[in-house]
Amino acid sequence: MATERLVIVGGDAAGMAAASQARRLRTPDELAITAFERGHYTSYSACGIPYWVGGEVDGPDALIARTAQEHRARDIDLRLRHEVTALDLDRGRVLTRELDDGGRESWTGFDKLVLATGARPRRPGLPGIDAPGVHGVQTLDDGRALLDTLDASPGRRAVVVGAGYIGVEMAEALIRRGYEVTVLEQSAQPMSTLDPDMGALVHEAMCAMGIETVRGATVTGVLTDEGSAPGGGRARAVTTQDAEYPADVVVLGLGVRPETTLAAAAGLPLGASGGLLTDLAMRVRGHDHIWAGGDCVEVLDLVSGQLRHVALGTHANKHGQVIGANVGGGYATFPGVVGTAVSKVCDLEIARTGLLEREARAAGLRFVSVTVEATNRAGYYPGARPMHVKMLAERRTGRLLGVQIVGREGAGKRVDVAAVALTAGMTVERMTALDLGYAPPFSPVWDPVLVAARKATAAVRDAGA
């Protein structure tokens, strides 16, 4: 049998997990694997960048799950600093440019193709946004550049644009480095991945931590040393519709969108968010020999029944496993997500799963919502701290639709109980009988999630049809 040729575009979590899994199932004689990565690093934890910047983790090496050398030792032909610039699906080949070597271009043929091109940060087209001192934090190269700026910067004022996961994590990192931090958030509350009432709890906690958090702030530009002209000097302030916030460094945390320029140019099917569309085996729809996974695809939201874009390393790794199994002749599927996310800012833990109120409405669902305050441990046990749990349930059926949690130690990962219950399609009434682990150091006798389920059960009953 001739050796099959697998080409992978993108050498981070999804791409290299696919490569590793395929290699487990197929020898180099059976399957030749070539992976192209335009950056300097491979298989790294982008999610760890805020902790590297904050000095809690020695980066970048610690953030690399598997080095290029380790991949190559397993007969994966990994080429760093190689950018794929075109897909030629008709002839089964990709065009690459060597970024460090005079830009030499060449074609590589494939029998099977994996697209794992990731996501690119949102960067609004505002004056000064590209000035030195304005940083994204999407790649290890971004992290290194930000650290270089911080090391070189004489000042101690940082502005973070966006109060989502990356924004709040970067706020914590900069606080740890001794910066005065201002976070500018366009929405009514930070963490717009929560309902506003839960976001308000985050706002309150961030203020108490000494993080200036400005809500409803529309950023209008970045002022530089020589004024606001694009291409001018270093960033020195961020302006909003109302005010000017001095900044020695600016960090952008505005989320990401799928990086599918290549796929679009090749005519591959994209969804409303711009992510690639795949089947359950992570094959690109209509293309038997092309797979896609990680931050460049859309996934099925099992709660709303709709497609969405979720950029998370844990999904990317699962996608890679599924792709590698299928490419290697095995069988696996990725059924979808329920929208779980967890984060923290200093000691505040923030988590969600399922749908927010606005998402439930957009999905056409009628629901009740309740919020409870309970403690992470038995109230009498040392370290017991309040936590808030918000729960949404469908009217009539009582099906769980979503949970949001804001609290301290032990609060965040409690969202997993709801994630499993959502996956199983449980009603909130059934949840009230869940046999969750109980002992005073771990939980009150009624776990906070169960307290919320009881209240939601009553709300469903009271709401009637």
307 binds its own copies per the rule CB under 8 A: no
How is residue 371 written in tokens? 């919020």
- Binding its own copies (rule: CB under 8 A), the pick from 156, 378, 385, 397 is 378
Contact 21, 316 (CB under 8 A): no
Cα(394)–Cα(401) distance, integer angstroms: 6
Q: How many CA atoms lie less than 13 Å away from 303 in the CB half-sphere?
A: 32
Q: Using CB under 8 A as the criterion, what x/- string covers residues 117-136 for binding its own copies?
A: --------------------
Contact status: 410 vs its own copies (CB under 8 A): yes
- Binder among 279, 335, 358, 396 for its own copies (CB under 8 A): 335
Q: How many residues bind its own copies (CB under 8 A)?
A: 68
Catalytic residue, chosen from 47, 207, 296, 346, is: 47
Task: Reduce the DSSP state of residue 177 to 3 states and report it.
Answer: coil
Site string for its own copies, 51-90 (x = CB under 8 A): x----xxx---xx-x-------------------------
Among 222, 337, 368, 370, binds its own copies (CB under 8 A): 337
Rounded to 5 degrees, φ, ψ at 339 are 85, 35
Is 424 a binding residue for its own copies by CB under 8 A? The answer is yes
Closest distance to its own copies from the beta carbon of 262 (Å):
25
Interface mask (CB under 8 A) for its own copies, residues 142-181, using x and -? -----------------------x---x------------
* 47 annotated active-site: yes
What is the widest separation between alpha-carbon atoms in the chain? 70
3-class SS string, 276-300:
ECECCCCEECCCCCEEECHHHECEE
Placement of tokens 């005010």 in the chain: 243
Adjacent-strand bridge partners of 353: 403
For residue 461, the tally of other CB atoms under 10 A from its CB is 11
Closest approach of Cβ 382 to its own copies, in Å? 5
State which residue, 221 or 412, has the beta carbon closest to its own copies.
Answer: 412
The whole-angstrom separation of Cα 81 and Cα 257 is 22
Helix, strand counts (H, E) of the chain: 12, 25
Please report, as a single letter, which amino acid is at residue 5. Answer: R
Sign, Cα dihedral of 186, 188, 194, 198: positive
Name the site residues for its own copies (rule: CB under 8 A): 13, 45, 47-48, 51, 56-58, 62-63, 65, 165, 169, 312-315, 317-318, 321, 333-335, 337-344, 349, 351, 353, 378, 380-382, 410, 412-417, 419-421, 423-424, 426, 430, 432-443, 445-447, 454
Question: Which active-site residues does the annotation give?
Answer: 47
